[in-house]
Amino acid sequence: MKNPAHALFLLFALPISAGEPITYDNLPLGSESKPLLLSTYMPDPGLDEAYFAHHGKSAKSPKYNPGTGKDIPGEYDPIKGLPASLGVSFGPALSYAFDTVECRIAYAWQGGFLDMYPYWGDPVRGSRQSYDYVPQLVGILFHKANPMSEIFVDGKRLTDLDHPKFVGYNLENGTPAFLFSRGGHEFKLKVTPNTKTPLSFSFTLSSPDKIAITYDTPNGDRTTNTLTRTVTGTALGNFQGFPRDMKIKEASVANGRKLFDGLGCSACHSVDGSLGHGPSLAGLYGSKRPIEGTQELVHADEAYILESIKNPGAKTAKGFPPNYMPPYILKDLEYQSLVLYIKSVAKGQ
Amino acid sequence: MKLSSILTLLAVVATASADDYTKCYQLDDIALPNGVPPEVGGLTFSSDGWLYVCLRRSDVFRAKPGEDPKAFDWKLFASGFHNGCGIYSPEPGKILVTQMSDLTSATDTDGDGVADQYRIVADDWGLSGNYHETNTFCPDGKGGYFLAIGTASHNGSVFEHTKGEYSVFGRRGRNFSSVKNRGWILHLDKNGVITPWASGFRMANGIYTDPDGETWSGDNQGDWKPVTPFYHIEKGNFYGHPSSLVWDKNWPKDKDPLLTYRNDLDAYNKHRTEAAVLVPYTVCRSASEPIMIPRNGSFGAHYAGQYILPDNNGTRLCRIMVEKVDGVYQGMVTYLQNGGGLRSGNNRVAFSPDGKSLYVGQTVRGWGAPAEGLQRITYKGGTPFDISTIHITPDGFRLTFTGDIPDLSANSFQVSSATYQPTWVYGGVAQNKQKHSVNKLAKTDEHTVAISITDFVPEKVYEIKLPDLKAADGSLLNNNIFHYTVHKIPGASKRSGLPF
């Protein structure tokens, strides 16, 4: 768009509270202005057993043969997952899981949201993955809830207050603010991305009651009844969604395009020069690229493109935040196909 | 009036007993927004005329329906729901949706056409992490709701950590109830008090309270459900799928209900409540949401007051007529529509406010080849050549035609009967099969004929076929196969003693 003012006008002309509809795209993504909220099964990326204080605990169960109506040797193993959580995506800036059973932020990550493929299934065939249907994370996990909350309410840890009860949420200009009660108090929790510091988010926890809400210390002022805080984490794991065999038999532009769409690259990188969460690939290959933290331009050759896929944090394109893209571990033919496709896009093919 | 119109009118009158069904009922494909997976989990009209459609991946769209099926102006009203399979609008600008973990309300508080306030209305059931645990609901007609809470499937897992308490016994078997109130119908009264109402459901994928305040549901044929049942729902009853009993406060904690009833069918048969109408698998494979055809004739006087039971696994809508004999509901099932462009996956139904159009939402995602979308069946007038009702008599049945009685003899009928004993086996076979003859045939009025049946005993499902029946003008009967579930024969105290 040639006229930036026009672009700005269009942006604000859109109703802020109306999100984008869910499509067959198994890699849905919100944005900072239009966060996406999904009530869904969500993965458990290794939360501590003690975290699940208010969940039920399942068990192995004898295998059953529906043909004979009898148990047979072997056992069904329970799988990992959060049964009743709300996934929220602000685009690559921040995603988090709000657990409606524990009434807590279970974990947070950056650089993507959920791969719904195992659950929603192939757009054409429509089948979920039989026993492996929990949606999978895309991005860099940087925060997992500790069993004991760092938040104190009138000197008591939030997690020591009994009867967590999820009430619902309001969309405040599209951003969810969760309501719950615990220990006889009502709370409102609102989480937002913090774009100033990598691998972090901000939250505000407030209550209509006259209580002190503090972080890392039991002592606090009762008159505030509000806590605003930024939580900064470290990279705890990289996730690239459900492992799919794209059945790539040769390196080609067509296969590169298939991967580009299938892996969700297109959610952030345009191929026509338009703005996105990440740099456009139009004209990228062969150009000189400005990089964050250095005055020197970098030549966008094959090595640069490969490095940007394998280790995106090595060089961050100027004007874009770090950690918005997770590293992608692929097969050699897949890397080669993506490079061929990105080269073809640069040439305008 | 033009001459051509007069001629058309005369033609309609002349062939009043033999209109083609497709001329009486028009089927349209309603376009949902482009690119949106049209997996219809719920469907409802609000009092201000919006048609709300709940799609299973997240979103609720609404539109004011118009003539043109391709030109509905859909707006996204609410989103974020986890497999929402039930929707109702209690007041303008507010919807309720049953998703996997709860019943949630979504309200547009600022009038911009988009919901901004979401509240949990009820969640007195567990969620194991199994993919199959969908729920649906209906208003009870008194400001409250009935909720049908689905079971899990052995084709999926449970999570290590569940929402709510976990039961080891509840986890056993094919379809199972490992977390609280799975396989139950719950009642939520207008004050928000929730009561377990009835147990024994495998997957009551659709529940309905009719204008008389009677509540009905189907269930999904499978283990402990040999055929598709149409249940009259009453408080305290057990409807036959044992797993849910682990959440019954009267069931001993140390007893595995699946094993108990697998080994003792007599005790099982004493405990369970039978379906009002049994629908053989060949007629309906997977019942979804029932609804009553308006009594005012807006959808055809010939079917008024009967129930529609859609098939989620076939291109058909069943038509059910019930009557009470000695205090027990029983009745007849046939088709309203079988094929004719109707998709499979028929899941939810709603009548337009004028009662002339039936909206049918479809989805089968995860259970077969995708058949998803929204269709509309509109009554255009006329009367198809059909049998509208079948009532029981002390020695057989009384069949009422929609028009003049065609030429009939005892040989026009093929009558047989069978029983269906629920067991742990998936589906079931017909037992105690018997052929019957029509030994008397009498016209009781100009549209009605009574037949008496040899060896007519209760507690069986009777199949009545009229294979080659034609109207006077040669048109075929719209339906020529009917099943009547006989619990009671009027005036007769005899019981067959057959497992039913």
pLDDT one-digit tens code per residue, A150-162: 999 999 999 999 9
DSSP 8-class letter at B426: B
What are residue B260's phi and psi, to 5 degrees? -55, -50
Q: Which amino acid is at A312?
A: P
Asked if residue A9 has pLDDT above 60, the reply is no
Distance CA B135, CA B484 (A): 30
| Structural domains counted in chain B | 2
Shared-domain flag, residues B268 and B286: yes
Domain holding B367, by residue range, is: 23-379
Contacts of B393 (CB under 8 A, 6+ apart): B450, B452, B490
* B236 is a domain residue: yes
Q: How far apart are CA B335 and CA B265, in angstroms?
A: 32
- What is the nearest CA distance from A298 to chain B, expressed in angstroms? 40
Long-range Cβ pairs for the range A61-64 (8 Å, 24+) = A61/B158, A61/B168, A61/B171, A61/B172, A61/B178, A62/B172, A64/B154, A64/B172, A64/B173, A64/B174
Q: What pLDDT digit, counting tens, does each position of B65-101 carry?
A: 999 999 999 999 999 999 999 999 999 999 999 999 9
Judged against a pLDDT cut of 70, whether residue B497 lies above it is answered with no
Q: Calculate the dihedral angle through the C-alpha atoms of B336, B342, B348, B349, rounding to the nearest 10 degrees.
A: -50
Count of CB atoms situated within 10 Å of the CB of B234: 13
Query: Domain end: B331, B350, B379, which one?
Result: B379
pLDDT given at position B187: 98
CATH for B135:
2.120.10.30
Residues B137 and B216 in one domain: yes
For B470, other C-beta atoms within 10 Å of its C-beta total: 14
CB A52 within 8 A of CB B161: yes
Shared-domain flag, residues B262 and B352: yes
Amino acid at position A29, single letter: L
User: Domain boundary residue among B379, B409, B427?
Assistant: B379
d(CA B83, CA B362): 14
* Residues B217-239 pLDDT 10s: 999 999 999 999 999 999 999 99
Residue A297, pLDDT score: 93
Task: Count CB atoms within 10 A of the CB of residue B297.
Answer: 14
Q: How far are the Cα atoms of A347, B148, B186 from residue B106, in angstroms, in the given order?
A: 49, 20, 21
Best A48, A102, A171 member to test B by mutation, with max B CBs in 10 Å, is A171
Shortest Cα distance from A301 to chain B (angstroms)?
Answer: 37
Per 3-state DSSP, what percentage of chain A is helix, strand, and coil (rounded to 5)?
A: 15, 35, 50
In a domain, B5, yes or no: no
Least confident among A109-118, A302-311, B4-13, B172-181: B4-13
pLDDT given for residue A246 in this prediction: 83
* Residue B181, pLDDT above cutoff 80: yes
Q: What's the confidence (pLDDT) of residue B494?
A: 56
According to the model, what pLDDT value does residue B315 have? Answer: 95
- The predicted pLDDT at position A268 comes to 85
Q: What is the ipTM of this complex?
A: 0.92
Q: What is the mean pLDDT of chain B?
A: 93
In this structure, are B146 and B265 located in the same domain?
Answer: yes
pLDDT digits 0-9 by tens, B434-446? 999 999 999 999 8
Q: Is residue B206 assigned to a domain?
A: yes
What mean pLDDT comes out for the span B328-333? 98
Percent above pLDDT 90 for chain A: 70
pLDDT for the residue B426: 86
Residues 6+ apart with CB under 8 A from A303: none
Residue of A nearest to B365 (CA): A126
Are B156 and A82 within 8 A, CB to CB?
no
Tell the CATH topology of A246-346.
Answer: Cytochrome Bc1 Complex; Chain D, domain 2 (1.10.760)
Give the confidence band of B495 by pLDDT, cuts at 50, 70, 90: low
Is B33 within 8 Å of A21 when comparing Cβ atoms? yes
Cα–Cα distance for residue pair A144/A120, rounded to 1 Å: 26
Q: CA of A37: which chain B residue's CA is closest?
A: B80
* DSSP code string of A311-344: -TTSSPBTTS-TTSS------HHHHHHHHHHHHH
Do B94 and B236 fall into the same domain? yes
- Is residue B1, in this structure, part of any structural domain at all? no
Residue of A14, A36, A51, A61 to mutate, interface with B, max B Cβ within 10 Å = A61
What angle separates helix A332-346 from helix A253-262, to the nearest 10 degrees? 100
pLDDT of residue A7: 36
Q: What is the mean pLDDT of residues A272-280?
A: 86
Decide if B494 is inside a domain: no
CATH of the domain at B453: 2.60.40
* pLDDT reported for residue A18: 59
Position B255 pLDDT exceeds 50: yes
Q: Which residues of A touch B112 (CB under 8 A)?
A: 15, 17
Nearest to B163 by CA among B187, B151, B186, B180: B180
The chain-wide mean pLDDT, for chain A, equals: 90
Cα-based angle A36, A42, A44 (whole degrees, multiple of 5): 135
The 3-state secondary structure of B439-473, one letter per residue: EEEEEEECCEEEEEECCCCCCEEEEEECCCCECCC
CB-based contact B186:B145 (threshold 8 Å): no
Are residues B275 and B420 in contact, defined by beta-carbon separation less than 8 angstroms? Answer: no
Partners of B114 on chain A (C-beta within 8 Å) are 15, 17-18
CA-angle at A40, arms to A179 and A200, nearest 5°: 65
Tokens of A156: 């008591």
The type of residue at A194 is N
Size of interface A-B (CB pairs under 8 A): 176
| Per-residue confidence (pLDDT) for residue A277, from 0 to 100 | 83
Residue B12 has pLDDT above 70, yes or no: no
At residue B14, the pLDDT reads: 36
Of B411, B393, B403, nearest in space to B486 by CA: B393
The reply to whether residue A81 touches residue B160, judged by beta carbons under 8 angstroms, is yes
Q: For residue B408, which of B391, B387, B388, B393 has the smallest C-alpha distance?
A: B387
B69/B171 same-domain check:
yes
Does B337 share its domain with B444?
A: no
Does residue A12 have a pLDDT over 80? no
Same domain, B120 and B245: yes
pLDDT confidence of residue A187: 98
Q: Is A149:A159 a contact under the CB 8 Å cutoff?
A: yes
Q: Do B158 and A168 touch (CB under 8 A)?
A: no
Structure tokens given for B81: 């729901």
Residue A169: list chain B partners with CB under 8 A.
Answer: 118
Residue A348 has what pLDDT? 59
Is residue B11 in some structural domain?
no
B321 located within any domain: yes
Residues in chain A closer than 8 A to B173 (CB atoms): 64
What pLDDT sits at residue B496?
A: 55
Residues of A in contact with B367 (CB under 8 A): none
Nearest in space to A200 (alpha carbons), one of A95, A114, A97: A95
- B213, B325: one domain: yes
How close is the nearest chain A Cα to the Cα of B161, in Å?
5
The pLDDT value recorded for residue B10 is: 35
Q: Note whether residue B493 is domain-resident.
A: no
Contact indicator for B413, B466 with CB cutoff of 8 Å: yes
Q: What local confidence, expressed as pLDDT, does residue A67 receive?
A: 79
Instruction: Supply the pLDDT for residue B369.
Output: 67
pLDDT level of residue A6 (50, 70, 90 thresholds): very low
d(CA B184, CA B203): 9
Q: What gap in Å lies between CA B349 and CA B288, rounded to an integer?
A: 9
Residues B55 and B96 in one domain: yes
Same domain, B358 and B474: no
Q: What are the counts of helices (DSSP H) followed by strands (DSSP E) for chain B?
A: 4, 35
In whole angstroms, what is the distance from residue B436 CA to residue B439 CA? 9
Do residues B375 and B432 both lie within one domain? no
A72 Cα distance to chain centroid: 40
Q: Over 50: is that where the pLDDT of B351 sits?
A: yes
A272 vs B454, residue with greater confidence = B454
Distance from A188 to chain B by nearest Cα, in Å? 13
Closest CB to A21: pick one of B76, B115, B118. B76
